[in-house]
Chain A
Amino acid sequence: MAKEKKVNENVQESVPPMGMTMIAREFKKDKLAMFSLAVLVIILLGVFIGSVIINQDQIMRVSIFDKYAAPGTFSTTNNTTFILGADEGGRDVFGQLIIGARNSILIGFTITIVTSIIGVGLGIVSGYYGGAIDNILMRIVDFIMILPIQMIIIVFVTIVPKYNVWSFIGIMSSFYWVGKARLFRSKALSESRRDYVSASKTLGTSDFKIMFRELMPNLSSLIITNLTMNFAANIGIETTLTFLGFGLPTNVPSLGTLIGYASNGDVLSNKTWIWLPASVLILVMMLSINYVGQALKRSADARQRLG
């Protein structure tokens, strides 16, 4: 009797770890992923706490006497020290860095969420139903794929009336969902041929419930990985467009705005304090988000796991 109980216990212990446990194990095993996660958390905390403390109006105020003040210069007009110097308009670079990072992160995140809802939703619907719906949606996806998207976005940015942050998010989202839709369509297509879906259909479960309550959870690890990688990519795209001068409106500073000052050769070569910190910050964020994303990807695939 006692022995049998013991066996049962063992059986229970051998249930493979799932979800969060698996991810935690992966991070414990991979020190660099843990480090990347820590760096990311520190940056996020620093940026969001910093942006609450910092007075944005004071930072964006132009003071001509502090034009291109070097790092560490004491400003008599603002009665503060420029930790990272000042830009052409005498505005504090450090403050702009914090606020720009906050804006870039928030906007990158919003775009990721919006494109994921559209892309994953349409992808699953397309893959699950197949037939005419699939055909129409995939032709739309094919069409958007051939467009020179970067250029079209720049055109939209210049012709949209009353352009603001939400228009930017709208424009970006209306083009960048297609890759996701295609990916999740192919996954949903193979998933919807599985027995559990047929069984659920036979039981009379509604299509909506099958798609989003039964099929989607089975793709959740892929969604999480895709979201993470996409978050990094979207920050990259936003800062690139803002760098070119066609991203966020001028009254919303982004990391790209600071780097954009480097289009001026003199700033690029002699006034590194303006653009280098923002570049390094983006670089560090990209590398750590991508590394965390790869660790997530590994933990979702039993063959690649380290932990």
Chain B
Amino acid sequence: MWKTILRRIILMIPQVIILSIFIFLLAQAMPGDPFTGLINPNMDPAVIEKMREAAGLNDPWHIQYIRWIGNAIHGDFGTSFLYKLPVAEIIGERALNTIWLSLLTVILTYLIALPLGLFAGRYQNSWFDKVVVVYNFFSFAVPIFIFALLTLFIFGYRLDWFPTTGSVSSDVVKGTTAYFFDKLHHITLPAISQAFLATAVTIQYLRSEVIDAKTQDFVRTARSKGVPTNKVFTRHIFRNASLPIASQLGYEITGLISGSVVIEKIFGYPGIGKLFIDSIVQRDYTVITALILILGIATLIGTLLSDIIMSIVDPRIRIQ
């Protein structure tokens, strides 16, 4: 068990290194450097050149890379041109918002997907199953930005049930229950839009898993022992089908966080997706580079977590 985890972590190291080199080169390709903003008629170009030299921007790229990655390991991603604040601070603040949104989305996704998938599989070809199949087809085919726009239009603007932008109203005090509920009120609509589409894979997986399991030997054994039908489903089939879902959690959350660009842009939600778009528009490259690096590493950790959970849940995987 520990051997597997250790091997997976060691395998991750070259990936992290290549990822960081790739992102560093990408950052080099972006126009401008921290002193571009200083260029003006009153400033002697020679002075700027001296400042660049002092900051090490004229060194060969591998030396610059080592300096950059060294700082990044210590949590220093440089300073944002736009906000004049340390990048880590800006991202940390926004990341919290995105994590809350992703968390609620995941909870909603499983609340919808587990019962729908499991019962559609159990009562295959019933009217309930047919409704679930139609819903599943829609959630597969509909692009998220159109669905999100429509929900914002109907529930945000027309019915006025939910706020249309932001993550919290300006007039509530931090730390109170009103603050919590106000945040929840802001998060609900984007979370529902995301969850509606995120359920697609899970429902389809659970449904086909239950349908497959119904004809398998362990179910026949349970039935022939005289286990009541309900118990066969809840104890044997459902549990077997839903365990692998737990292992998807890592993928799910990292997928949601790196896919947050669209949903946060539409709902004006101040998370890292919106931070990314704002930084791109303002050419705030230190923030962009840091965001991509952090998300890449988060994805790696997410897959690692998923693999670890999977190997705990399903011992067959450990063998290799």
> Interface on A for B, CB 8 Å cutoff?
142-143, 146-148, 150-152, 154-155, 158-159, 232, 236, 239-240, 243-246, 259, 262-263, 265, 268-269, 272, 275, 279, 282-283, 286-287, 289-291, 294
Contact = CB atoms under 8 A, between A and B. Distances in A.
Contact-residue bracket for chain B: 35 or more
Nearest to B26: A155
B164 interface: yes
Interface of B: 15, 18-19, 22, 26, 29-31, 137-138, 140-146, 149-150, 152-153, 157-158, 164-165, 258-259, 261-262, 265-266, 276-277, 280-281, 283, 288, 291-292, 295-296, 299-300, 303
Q: B138, B158, B280 — which one has the most chain A CB atoms within 10 A of its CB?
A: B280
A294 B134 CA distance: 12
A148 B145 contact: no
Contacts of A279: 146, 149-150
B112 to A, nearest CB: 20
Given A259-B146, A272-B153, A287-B137, 8 more contacts: A148-B292, A151-B292, A158-B280, A158-B283, A159-B31, A244-B262, A263-B265, A275-B149
Say what secondary structure dominates the interface of chain A. helix
Contacts of A244: 261-262, 265, 277
B296 A148 contact: yes
A230 to B, nearest CB: 13
Contacts, number: 104
A151 B141 contact: no
Q: Lowest 7 CB-CB distances: which A-B pairs, in order? A: A269-B157, A148-B258, A236-B143, A290-B141, A148-B295, A286-B141, A146-B299
26 contacts: A142-B15, A146-B15, A146-B19, A147-B22, A147-B299, A148-B258, A148-B295, A150-B258, A150-B259, A150-B261, A154-B261, A154-B280, A159-B26, A240-B144, A243-B262, A244-B261, A244-B265, A259-B146, A263-B265, A265-B165, A272-B153, A279-B146, A287-B137, A287-B141, A289-B141, A290-B140
B303 A146 contact: yes
A159 B26 CA distance: 9
Contacts of B30: 155, 159
Contact of A146 (B26, B152, B261, B300): B300
Contacts of A272: 153
A177 B283 CA distance: 29
A245 B142 CA distance: 20
Nearest to A260: B145
A263 B262 CA distance: 11
Contacts of B300: 146
Nearest to B298: A148
A194 to B, nearest CB: 24
A259 B145 contact: yes
A268 B157 CA distance: 8
Contact of B143 (A143, A150, A269, A286): A286
Contacts of A158: 280, 283
Contact of B292 (A155, A236, A239): A155
Nearest to B31: A159
A152 B31 contact: no
A155 B288 contact: yes
A151 B146 contact: no
Contact of A282 (B146, B164, B292): B146
A282 B276 contact: no
B265 A283 contact: no
Contacts of B137: 287, 290-291, 294
Nearest to B16: A146
B142 A283 contact: yes
Nearest to A243: B145
Given A143-B19, A239-B143, A148 B150 contact: no
A147 to B, nearest CB: 6
A159 B265 CA distance: 21
B15 to A, nearest CB: 7
A305 B18 CA distance: 46
B149 A262 contact: yes
Nearest to A237: B143
A61 to B, nearest CB: 27
Contacts of B295: 148, 151
